[in-house]
Chains A and B, each alone.
Chain A
Amino acid sequence: MQNPPAPFTSALHLALDPDLFSADPIRPWAADLLRNCARAFSERDSANLQRLLWMLNELASPYGDREQRLAYAFLQALFCCATASGDRCYTTSLAVAERAISFASTRRLALKFQEAAPWTTFGHVAANGALLHALDAVPAIHIVDVSDTFCTQWPTLLEALASRADTDAPRVRLTVVASAASAGVMSEIGVRIEKFARLMGVSLEFRAVVAPASPRFADALRPEELELRDGETVAVNCVSALRRAGTGGSRDAFLRAAAALEPRVVTVVEEEANFAGVGEFAESFEECLRFYGAYFDMLEESFPATSNERLALERESFRSLVGVLACDGRGPDRVDHGERRERGRQWCRRLERCGFQTFGFSDDVVDDLKALLRRYRPGWSLLPAEGEASGMYLTWKEEPVVWSCAWKPK
């Protein structure tokens, strides 16, 4: 791949479908082109790969429509695959993003996303519903929040606790186990949520802890780390947390550590995709197309055209896609990116293996979720899990994208 590629003369040259370049703007073209790129990559067909990436480069744009943005995302990732630079690229991108984090920008992004789509609020409502149900009439609660939601889940829970008609609000301790990147803004967030709780009339004690790097992620749940006290009931809330707990055995270790806390309830929210498999490149690629395709489509339809927030979210997924496709977790530069999501049924198997049993969402929670979806644009729906999986899926245009479930120790 030393010389510039030969000029592109015809679609037939690349054995591509000529219809691919029809003028019809609505026809989705990115997926097919990307599949061709993936095939060229896995077949080590350098000449073809060069030409295809060149063409992709011409068509892609981070400011264009959904197809162009999706193409752009995969272009970055494929480029990193081709140049074996995934780990370095991911690390640099993360460092740059971390430098730009501020309380105001984080808050704006989180809240605007919640306004535009139920992607995150689905998990919040489901988890809060399960927490309220399981922690009814408990006077002292300790919530261990393993997530990077920046506490946006908690105001509605605090309000619900404060306005429960029958009893006074319980005393609440909130320990947030956040990633290193979010640690900077957690102090400000803590101040504000404590103040808010005070005004609501709920006694809240806040503490933020930085999660150790992934092989030792389970250490975050050690009782002495969390400073557990007698008389308090523990609840563990994991939002996109399990996928950050390393791979394979480390994930089970994390879950066992959670079980060891003897929690009343463990709520889990994860994005629905299988990026943990070590199978064929083509399979992972297809799964990426499905998930990120739905994500970009959802973003396009949920945000206004010139939204900065949409751009920020897409930028995060450019990085995450590089992590999934171009970082193989080996080599000296390997980075623990925590992007290796698993599907709901896979998590269910793990949780059961690690000493948990599921308990379903009550009818009230399901009604709350339905009411939630009604507050957004059409395209969203609920899908109760069946068969091997339990819990509830959020679907975008019939495609399951987020999964949530509640568990308790056996």
Chain B
Amino acid sequence: MQFQNLFNFKNAKEDPQMSATEAISKTFSHSCNPPPPPKKKRNLPGTPDPEAEVIALSPRTLLASNRFVCEICGKGFQRDQNLQLHRRGHNLPWKLRQRGSKESRKRVYVCPEPACVHHNPSRALGDLTGIKKHFCRKHGEKRWKCDKCAKKYAVLSDWKAHVKTCGSREYRCDCGTLFSRRDSFITHRAFCDALAEETARVSAAVFNNITSNMDLKPTSFINVNNGDQVIVEQQQVKQRESRGVNTNSAFNNGDLYGSCSNLQQPEGQLSWAGNSTNNHGDIFSLSTTRTVKGENVFAHGSFPSLFSSLEHNPTLGSDTSATALLQKAAQVGASTIPFLGSLFKEELGGETRDFLGVGMHPSFSGWL
């Protein structure tokens, strides 16, 4: 489209009636060879040539894998051509059909399943192998199972293709962590701070009544808490490395048994049965003086209330169906987010719905 406009504009002075194609060929003919012939147009899947002959094959026919059987050795073949070539080996008379034998009429195939979208002749598929695979994939029994992730497939070639890549795929969360296992990735993602941030950022942009401060607050709350933990952990490791294993400060939770490493020291400190309860009390109360790091920031209440105000907003599309959401996400972001392919069904189509219901298209740098 852009190209067309460009050339229309350029040539407007010379000849306003000239079409884009003519303009292009005019320009090209000055400098190089004649333009390549226009590419043969390919129909969209399931939108057949109206002149074509509609064939409705039975489920049995579609699922039969080796219909063409050699009468000598019983070997089965998917295509008649292959059987004919095989018959040559038995010195049997064979006949290969010419390519032109189908020139009478183009054939398109419908799916025998009444509820299927391809059952309607206006959505028939143009390829015999295509309709066979479609029927098997969508309506057939899933007999092939992946060893690693237990995902099931009806079509053998689909299964083979999956097994090649399964396990080698890596999933990256917004927070930067990399996962080799899909289940760990999903569980991590559900509780990841990056998820909370994503919504906070998008919602802040949508709603005017949230002050500009709020934009920073949610993330800083999250990062403070996380940051604290990370720093504390690093300190722990350092301390342990420098002072050796037997150190009290290795634990940052003021927990009972963390402080009980006292028991390692000379027997004087170990109070035996029958001694005063004071001694006993001493050991076990050491912990109460220790500060507890990584305190629950969220207990202060302001964080939950931020989200509760958002929860009540009806435009946050909680009634969007799974199918629509997945389709929408696939169309917008599948190419940039490789792993999403595993979550989406194969055939997409149908209406898309706005993710947030507010006419916005959120950036899909996040996950869905």
Contacts and interface: CB of A to CB of B under 8 A. Distances in A.
A108 interface: yes
A54 B187 contact: no
A32 B150 CA distance: 43
A99 interface: yes
Contacts of A108: 229
B143 interface: no
Interface of A is mostly: helix
A198 B274 contact: no
Contact of A371 (B150, B263, B295): B150
A364 to B, nearest CB: 7
A187 B296 CA distance: 12
A195 B306 CA distance: 13
A296 B341 CA distance: 40
Contacts of A155: 186-187, 189-191
A162 B190 contact: no
A371 B149 contact: yes
A169 B150 CA distance: 21
B184 A162 contact: no
A64 B245 CA distance: 8
B158 interface: no
Interface residues of A, number: 81
Contact of A114 (B187, B195, B254): B187
Given A111-B188, A201-B325, A57 B273 contact: no
A162 B326 contact: yes
Interface string A368-379: 101110110000
Contact of A192 (B191, B263, B318, B343): B191
Nearest to A193: B190
A321 to B, nearest CB: 11
Interface stretch (B37-45, B92-100, B280-288): B280-288
Given A100-B253, A311-B251, A199 B321 contact: no
Contacts of A61: 246, 261, 264
B187 A101 contact: no
A1 B273 contact: yes
Interface string A93-124: 10011011111110110010011000001000
Interface stretch (A81-89, A138-146, A214-222, A344-352): A81-89
Interface string B249-277: 01101111110110110011010111100
Contact of B150 (A64, A102, A367): A367
B186 A93 contact: no
Given A100-B254, A192-B191, A315-B255, 7 more contacts: A54-B267, A76-B260, A96-B256, A101-B296, A105-B253, A111-B184, A163-B345
